[in-house]
Chain A
Amino acid sequence: MDGVSGPSEASHSPSELMVAYQGGELTAFDELYRKLAPKLRGYLSSLTWDPVLAEDLLQETFLQIHRSRHTYLPPRPVQPWAFAIARHVFLMERRQRTRRRRLESDPIGELPEIPVPAVMAKLGTKSDVRRALAGLAADRREAVLLHHVWGFSFGEIGAMLGIREGTAKLRAHRAVTALRDSLSPHATRKTRGATDDPR
């Protein structure tokens, strides 16, 4: 048994787990990993469009989370903090590539297994939606996924991306509109009232 058994015995909030992890409990890390990894993997996949690279970055994200665990301020929500670190890791990797000029552009290969936002699920098959997501501008795609898939508020997205709340809302809204248009031009009129949710 590693560390104190508390956090692993019952369902604890990520914030409680994070406090225990800061206190040196490995079991708290295990539980945190279980809670955060699927979401972070999906987020990194949506950023990289490369499942293998996303997996590498996921490991790097957790290592960075470990090195920076003192920068989490309880009792703030853990998820925006972890996502911000994942984004930082992604940007570092991208800057490294740019610096070395290995990749001039990132070709979209195999579409990653990212969750499809519920708001678009009815517009087409999952692979159709993923293809449509691939066609979006990266900043809009990121905003719509952060809001509709991982449930961040626009305020949190704004803080994470360093943009205003209104800009985050606008990006997500435009992404939803573009997805609707590309997936089902006829559905736009039918579903506008029900699914238009830029909040």
Chain B
Amino acid sequence: MIRDSSFENVRRQIAGDLSPVTPLRSGWTSALVAIPLTVFLLSLVLVIFGLRTDAPTIGTWALWGPATAMIAVAYGALVLALAQRSPETTVSWLWWTVLPVVAMAFQLAGAYWTYTNSAPLGPVGWRTEAMCFGRISLLGLPPVLAVLWLLSKGLPLRPRLAGLTAGIGGGLLSEGVYRLHCGVSHPTHIITWHTGAVLVMGIVGLLVGLWWERRRLDAWDSHHGAS
């Protein structure tokens, strides 16, 4: 029998709330949410915008290959984000270095692959280019919010980092799918407008994480404020 006032206090407080709980799924499993999210985004892009007009010229592989690769990278980012739901899991700085490098490499390689297979394109106005930025950001919001909601079910100890990763993951997913419509494959366009939108999604996630961290601290303050 334990004789411990701390123990008695804690036991008294938890005794009334012992409903069974289901353990969270691992990051790998939880990140499979990328599948329904991809289907959702794909439906939106294909129904609202359609495939890029030069899709037959580019060919199946150069059209779907880079998009699929980006979705795979997005899945990796979502694994990193959702693994942080369990408090003992933190993303090491190695992964923080690897993720942007891999994402950029895939983006550039994919852009180059499509670019070399597509017909030469005339000058494109900044409005057209900026449209990609707006649409990727807008399409990225549902996946980012969905992943942030999943994150909120756990106890990530670094909410800002978790939010940032979730934002980048959702942004990459949106970017990967939107590539199927975007007719500008020049790497400069991809790096500027597409990557820019992904970064904005990362900032959205970061801000939500920051808000979450502050709210957590406020809650702590209100519980322990008198001490």
Contact = CB atoms under 8 A, between A and B. Distances in A.
A190 B90 CA distance: 39
A172 B18 CA distance: 39
* Interface secondary structure of B, over-half rule: loop
B9 interface: yes
Contact of B21 (A3, A22, A161, A164): A22
A95 B159 CA distance: 15
A27 to B, nearest CB: 11
B23 A58 contact: no
A131 B154 CA distance: 38
A39 B63 CA distance: 56
A63 B12 CA distance: 11
A24 B217 contact: no
28 contacts: A2-B15, A25-B18, A26-B15, A26-B18, A33-B2, A33-B11, A55-B6, A63-B13, A66-B13, A66-B17, A68-B87, A70-B23, A70-B24, A71-B23, A71-B87, A72-B23, A72-B86, A76-B86, A76-B88, A81-B88, A84-B87, A88-B155, A96-B217, A96-B221, A99-B221, A159-B92, A162-B91, A164-B93
B89 interface: yes
Interface in A29-70: 29-30, 33-34, 37, 55-56, 58-60, 62-64, 66, 68-70
Q: Which are the 8 A-B pairs with shortest beta-carbon distances?
A: A70-B21, A84-B88, A162-B90, A24-B20, A84-B87, A81-B88, A62-B10, A80-B88
Interface in B164-184: none
Contacts of B85: 71
Given A71-B24, A84-B88, A158-B92, A59 B15 contact: no
B94 interface: yes
Contacts of B21: 22, 69-70
* Interface secondary structure of A, over-half rule: helix
Contacts of B2: 30, 33-34
Contacts of B221: 96, 99
B87 A81 contact: yes
Residue from the set A87, A88, A164 with the largest chain B CB neighbour count within 10 Å? A88
B7 to A, nearest CB: 6
B189 interface: no
Interface in A87-104: 87-88, 92-93, 95-96, 99
B158 interface: yes
Contacts of A62: 6, 10, 14
B155 A85 contact: yes
Nearest to B216: A92
Contacts, number: 117
Nearest to A68: B155
A74 interface: yes
Contacts of A63: 10, 13-14
Interface in B12-44: 13-15, 17-26
Given A76-B88, A88-B87, A162 B158 contact: yes
A73 interface: yes
A81 B88 CA distance: 5
Contacts of B127: none
B18 A24 contact: yes
Given A22-B23, A158-B92, A164-B92, A71 B217 contact: no
A156 B90 CA distance: 10
Contacts of A76: 86, 88
A159 B88 contact: yes
A95 B216 CA distance: 11
B220 interface: yes
A92 B23 contact: no
